Amino acid sequence: MSAPSLAGKVYAITGGASGMGLATVKRLVQAQARAVCIGDFNDSNFPQVKEALEALNKEGSTTIVFTKLDVSKSASVNAWIDGIISQFNALDGCLNAAGIPQMVGARGEPAILEETDEAWDTVMGVNLHGVFYCMRAEIAAMVKLEKKPRSIVNIASMAALRYSTDIFAYSVSKWGAAVLSTAVAKDVESAGTDIRVNAVSPGGTKTPMLMKFVGPKALEAAKKSGVERRSSLIEPDDVAAVVVWLLSEDSSQVYGVNIPVGESAP
């Protein structure tokens, strides 16, 4: 893989131990980034991920750091970013991919009556508040460093672009993350920071989270309509390819956008 604008740089990736986050980490390692710092709440698979990444990092050109991270806690996010700056005195790009799903087709109708305060707050805490906490900490660190082009990418969702009937918290949180990305992009541009912010909205993607997201009702409906087919799903690396492009200088004139991947916008 040839991605010269990524080599020798330092990246922070939330949700980097699985799915789209891990696919992005792999591409950055292959591009010989100086360091990739993975923050993920699920640390049980860190040893397995470390082994897989070491196989890609045969020349040892990339330092890979693992941290258990709860993005819904601003203090934890701040400490994580502060640690990256302390260790590398650099932060060139970030992917905020940490997220949690809601089950599609698992509730009765009207589904809003089964949307509990706890479920709503939990999803918002990770998918929306987490993106806000991460961007705030990342930008705070970046503006203190030598001014140069930097990039932040947030994972939204195709659910942010559609009216979903029973995953209210997930859809609203992802819509909020997309809108927040554009708003912050304009904010940092006005401030003259040379930091770009963009979002990516994947469609159905073959990640460990997928089966937690698709409930029995949704699967049955898909079977009846003939929509259920593996070809309709995309791979995490399909999303990572777009993310890495946005992190690179090849996309230097792209900022404040939300790019659909895998499905066209409705």
Q: 96 with 155: CB under 8 angstroms?
A: yes
- Say whether 170 is catalytic: yes
E strands of the chain, at which residues? 10-14, 35-40, 63-68, 93-96, 150-155, 195-202, 258-261
Query: Does the N-terminal peptide bond of residue 149 adopt cis geometry, omega within 30 degrees of 0?
Result: no
pLDDT for residue 226: 41
Residue 265 falls inside a structural domain: no
Q: Is the dihedral of CA 163, 229, 102, 131 positive or negative?
A: negative
What six digits make up the tokens of 13? 């990736």
20 in a structural domain:
yes
Rounded to the nearest 10°, the torsion over CA 139, 246, 241, 62 is -50
The first and second tokens of residue 184, run together, are 């912050």
Q: Coil, helix or strand for 3?
A: coil
Token couple for 31: 């591009």
Helix (H, G, I), strand (E, B) or coil at 156: coil
Give me the pLDDT at residue 111, please: 81
Element (H, E) at 2: none
Whole-number pLDDT of residue 223: 44
3-state secondary structure 81-126: HHHHHHHHCCCCEEEECCCCCCCECCCCCCHHHHCCHHHHHHHHHH
Choose, from 26, 174, 212, 224, the residue flagged as catalytic: 174
Q: What is the pLDDT of residue 204?
A: 72
Residue 131 is encoded by which pair of tokens?
Answer: 């993106």
- pTM of the entire predicted model: 0.90
120-124: Cβ within 8 A, 24+ apart: 120/168, 120/169, 122/72, 122/169, 123/169, 123/170, 123/173, 124/169, 124/172, 124/173, 124/176
Q: Quote the pLDDT of residue 175.
A: 96
Please check whether residue 266 lies inside any domain of the structure: no
Domain at 79, CATH number: 3.40.50.720
Digit-by-digit pLDDT tens for the chain (266 residues) are 444 589 999 999 999 999 999 999 999 999 999 999 999 999 999 999 999 999 999 999 999 999 999 999 999 999 999 999 999 999 999 999 999 988 766 666 788 888 899 999 999 999 999 999 999 999 999 999 999 999 999 999 988 887 777 788 999 999 999 999 999 999 999 999 999 999 999 977 666 666 556 655 555 554 444 444 444 678 899 999 999 999 999 999 999 999 999 876 66
Does residue 64 sit within a domain? yes
Which residues span the domain enclosing 46?
A: 4-260
Whether residue 59 contacts residue 30, with contact meaning beta carbons closer than 8 Å, is answered with no
Instruction: Tell me if 104 is assigned to some domain.
Output: yes
Catalytic residue among 11, 133, 170, 255: 170
DSSP tag of 30: H
Domains in the chain, number:
1
User: Please, which residues have CB within 8 angstroms of residue 116's CB and are 6 or more apart in sequence?
Assistant: none
Q: Look up tokens 């990039």; give the residue.
A: 151
For residue 48, being part of any structural domain is answered with yes
* Confidence at residue 39, expressed as pLDDT on a 0 to 100 scale: 99
| 209 found inside a domain | yes
Asked about 26 being catalytic, the answer comes back as no
Q: Let me know if residue 128 belongs to a domain.
A: yes
